[in-house]
């Protein structure tokens, strides 16, 4: 992204105010998820009208972007805009050889591993507490239906010794290969040699207090709550019916996910669409 003198001046002017600097810092901490305007006003302790004024200035300068999500307006930092702004300072460094400028050049690399529009193939990590049922189902389903475009993984914060036998049986009946499925800790995905995730989807109920592991700023996250099969009660026939219903719910949501227009959506828009898919499931008891 090449920035002109007038654009750079406008960008630095937009940042030359304490509230706007704090806005950018707070939004940067949230990555692609962004924040609703009301939450931002509360976090900074400013009036909504004042916040709107500062957000408008940052958006006009290309440093913040907004997306409507239902009744709310969600704001997020445009990291490409920030990088272009600060790279403007070093593009003439050392007579056009910024690599000679030591640490300054490394602060603002010309090539960054970030794209405003994402394209397959994607690594997708499904998380729940024990990694024995919901996330195992999601991994198996996406690995089959998204072959070639998605690579599915699953993990848990407190993994069980192995997946639930009833879950593996259901998946086998539905035509899935279960030979490689196992319960594992999300720590396997935090190391330097672990595959880099593009999406991290938490399948627990938010009331369970589940949080995502620290996988850096790259993944787009969402919470897709599903009922826990370990809590299903009733006869074997009733439990089987509930497992089939759970399988159908996960399958339908993943069908919606795999058919998103990834090539035309930026990261923030993708985050909004993922949240839209997370409608509370309904199931029989």
The CATH number covering residue 12 comes to 1.10.10.10
pLDDT at 181: 96
Give the number of domains in the chain.
2
pLDDT at 88: 76
Distances (CA, A) of 16 to 13, 58, 80, 105: 5, 11, 19, 23
- Residue 159, domain member (yes or no): yes
Which structural domain, as residue segments, surrounds residue 162? 122-277
Q: How far apart are CA 82 and CA 62, in angstroms?
A: 8
DSSP 95: H
- Residue 113, domain member (yes or no): no
Quick one: 149 and 72 in the same domain?
Answer: no
pTM for this prediction: 0.62
Quick one: 66 and 155 in the same domain?
Answer: no
Quick one: 131 and 227 in the same domain?
Answer: yes
Final residue before a domain boundary, out of 47, 73, 107: 107
Quick one: 88 and 220 in the same domain?
Answer: no
Quick one: 182 and 92 in the same domain?
Answer: no
Give the full edge-to-edge strand order of the sheet including 35-36.
Answer: 35-36, 72-77, 64-69
| One pLDDT digit (tens) per residue for the chain, 285 residues | 456 788 888 888 888 899 999 999 988 887 766 788 888 888 888 888 888 888 888 888 888 888 765 566 788 888 778 877 877 776 666 665 655 555 554 544 444 344 445 555 789 999 988 999 999 999 999 999 987 789 999 999 889 999 999 999 999 999 999 999 999 999 898 877 888 888 999 898 656 555 556 566 678 888 898 888 888 888 888 989 999 999 999 999 999 999 888 877 778 788 888 888 886 544 444
Give the full edge-to-edge strand order of the sheet including 199-202.
Answer: 150-156, 122-128, 199-202, 220-223
pLDDT at 283: 43
Quick one: 267 and 142 in the same domain?
Answer: yes
Quick one: 180 and 235 in the same domain?
Answer: yes
Tokens of 241: 């019916």
Quick one: 128 and 151 in the same domain?
Answer: yes
Quick one: 127 and 100 in the same domain?
Answer: no
- Residue 284, domain member (yes or no): no
Residue 160, Cβ neighbours under 10 Å: how many? 17
Quick one: 140 and 167 in the same domain?
Answer: yes
Quick one: 126 and 257 in the same domain?
Answer: yes
Final residue before a domain boundary, out of 60, 80, 107: 107
pLDDT at 129: 87
pLDDT at 243: 92
Quick one: 97 and 9 in the same domain?
Answer: yes
Residue 135, Cβ neighbours under 10 Å: how many? 31
């Amino acid at each position: 992204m090449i920035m002109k003198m007038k654009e750079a001046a406008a960008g630095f002017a937009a940042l030359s105010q304490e509230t706007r600097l704090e806005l950018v810092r707070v939004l940067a901490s949230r990555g692609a998820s962004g924040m609703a305007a009301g939450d931002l006003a509360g976090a900074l302790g400013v009036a909504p009208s004042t916040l709107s004024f500062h957000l408008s200035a940052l958006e006009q300068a290309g440093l913040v972007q907004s997306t409507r999500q239902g009744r709310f307006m969600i704001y997020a930092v445009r990291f490409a805009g920030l990088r272009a702004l600060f790279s403007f300072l070093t593009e003439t460094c050392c007579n056009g050889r910024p690599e000679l400028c030591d640490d300054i050049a490394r602060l603002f690399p010309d090539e960054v591993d970030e794209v405003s529009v994402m394209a397959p193939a994607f690594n997708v990590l499904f998380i729940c507490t024990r990694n024995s049922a919901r996330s195992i189902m999601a991994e198996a389903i996406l690995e089959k239906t998204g072959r070639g475009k998605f690579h599915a993984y699953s993990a848990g914060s407190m993994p069980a010794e192995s997946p639930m036998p009833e879950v593996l049986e259901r998946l086998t009946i539905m035509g899935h290969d279960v030979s490689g499925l196992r319960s594992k800790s999300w720590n396997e995905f935090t190391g330097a040699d672990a595959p880099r995730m593009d999406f991290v989807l938490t399948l627990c109920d938010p009331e369970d207090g589940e949080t995502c592991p620290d996988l850096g700023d790259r993944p787009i996250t969402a919470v897709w709550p599903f009922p826990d099969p370990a809590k299903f009660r009733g006869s074997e026939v009733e439990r089987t019916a509930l497992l089939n219903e759970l399988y159908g719910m996960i399958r339908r949501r993943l069908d919606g996910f795999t058919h998103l227009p990834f090539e035309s959506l930026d990261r923030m828009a993708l985050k909004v669409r993922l949240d839209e898919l997370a409608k509370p499931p309904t199931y029989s008891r």
